C-alpha cells in the first residue's frame, strides 16, 4: 500500500472534468515531483459521439499521461444518474483510504445548464473526505485503515463571480509552464470535443489567461479553500518569487 500512496488526488464526475478544471495544477504538481492521481466517479458514458465506453476510458488514460498523473481510477457509478448516496460516498472514501492523499482537489459549485452530476460529485467528495477518517466503522470500508486528509481545495468548471480569483480563501495557481499540457490533455477527448465544439478550447484558454493575468501570471487556475488558509510566516506566504 505504501508504494501506491498518492500525494494528491483530483476527483471529477466524468473523465475530462479534472482536465478542464484543474489540469494545469495536476501537471504542475506532478512536475514538482508529487505523485498525483485522478478519480472519475463515472465513465461519462453514454455520450452522442462515443460508440463504446472503452474509447472514453482510453482517452482518459491518454489525458492522464499528458498531465503526468501516475494513477487514474474510474469508478462504476452511473453517469447521468449520479447522486450523493451513502454507497457513492463509501466507494470514494475507500479509494482515499487505499491511496492516502494529503490533498484532494474536487469540483466546487453547481454548473447550471450543464450536467447536474457535477454538483452531486462535490457533495460525494466532501462526504468521502470525512468518511475516510471515521473510526469504529471498519466493516463499511473493507477494513481499510482510516486516513485523515490534510487539505481540500475546490476547482471550478465555470467562469463566474464566485470563482473569480479575487474572493475570500481563493488562490490563483500559476500554470504558465503547464498550460500546454492542460490543453493537450483536453484534446485527448476527441469524442467529446469534435470540430463543431472547438470553442471549448477557446473558452478554457480565455479563462486560464484571464485568471492568470489577475495575479500576474501568463495562465492560472483558481482554487478555493473551504477552510481558512493558515500561515505561520505571513511574509513568506504573501511574497511571490
Q: What is the pLDDT of residue 235?
A: 86
Domains of the chain with CATH codes = 2-238 (3.40.50.10320)
Q: What is the pLDDT of residue 56?
A: 98
Q: What is the pLDDT of residue 238?
A: 77
Q: How is the chain split among helix, strand and coil, in percent rounded to 5?
A: 45, 15, 45
Cα diameter, the chain: 54
Global pTM reads 0.94
Return the DSSP state at 52: -
Q: In angstroms, rounded to a whole number, what is the distance separating the alpha carbons of residues 227 and 241? A: 25
Q: What is the pLDDT of residue 240?
A: 55
DSSP H or E segment with residue 9: strand 8-12
Return the DSSP state at 94: H
What DSSP line would sit under 121-182, residue for residue? Answer: HHHHHHHHHHHTT--S-GGGGTTPPP----EEEEE-SS-SGGGSSSSTTEEEEE-TTTHHHH
Q: What is the pLDDT of residue 106?
A: 97
Q: Judge whether 24 and 178 are in contact, CB under 8 Å.
A: yes
pLDDT tens sequence for the chain (241 residues): 456 899 999 999 999 999 999 999 999 999 999 999 999 999 999 999 999 999 999 999 999 999 999 999 999 999 999 999 999 999 999 999 999 999 999 999 888 889 999 999 999 999 999 999 999 999 999 999 999 999 999 999 975 545 555 566 889 999 999 999 999 999 999 999 999 999 999 999 999 999 999 899 999 999 999 988 888 988 887 775 4
Q: How many CA atoms lie within 13 A of 33 on its CB side?
A: 0
Q: In angstroms, rounded to a whole number, what is the distance separating the alpha carbons of residues 196 and 187? A: 13
Q: What is the pLDDT of residue 4?
A: 85
Amino acid at each position: 500500500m505504501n508504494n501506491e500512496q498518492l500525494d494528491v488526488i483530483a476527483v471529477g464526475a466524468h473523465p475530462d472534468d479534472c482536465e478542464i478544471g484543474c489540469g494545469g495544477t495536476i501537471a504542475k504538481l506532478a512536475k514538482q515531483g508529487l505523485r498525483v492521481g485522478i478519480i472519475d466517479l463515472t465513465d461519462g458514458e453514454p455520450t452522442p459521439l462515443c460508440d463504446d465506453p472503452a474509447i472514453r476510458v482510453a482517452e482518459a488514460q491518454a489525458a492522464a499521461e499528458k498531465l503526468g498523473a501516475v494513477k487514474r481510477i474510474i469508478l462504476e457509478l452511473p453517469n447521468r444518474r449520479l447522486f450523493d448516496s451513502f454507497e457513492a460516498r463509501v466507494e470514494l472514501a475507500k479509494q482515499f483510504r487505499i491511496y492516502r492523499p494529503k490533498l484532494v482537489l474536487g469540483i466546487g459549485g453547481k454548473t447550471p445548464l450543464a450536467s447536474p452530476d457535477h454538483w452531486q460529485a462535490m457533495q460525494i467528495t466532501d462526504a468521502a473526505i470525512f468518511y475516510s477518517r471515521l473510526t469504529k466503522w471498519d466493516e463499511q470500508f473493507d477494513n481499510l485503515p482510516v486516513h485523515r486528509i490534510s487539505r481540500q481545495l475546490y476547482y471550478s468548471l465555470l467562469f463566474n463571480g464566485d470563482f473569480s480569483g479575487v474572493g475570500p480563501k481563493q488562490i490563483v495557481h500559476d500554470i504558465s509552464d503547464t498550460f500546454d499540457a492542460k490543453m493537450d490533455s483536453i484534446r485527448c477527448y476527441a469524442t467529446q470535443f469534435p470540430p463543431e465544439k472547438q470553442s471549448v478550447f477557446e473558452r478554457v484558454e480565455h479563462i486560464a489567461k484571464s485568471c492568470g493575468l489577475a495575479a500576474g501570471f501568463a495562465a492560472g487556475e483558481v482554487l478555493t479553500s473551504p477552510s481558512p488558509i493558515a500561515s505561520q510566516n505571513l511574509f513568506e506566504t504573501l511574497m511571490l518569487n
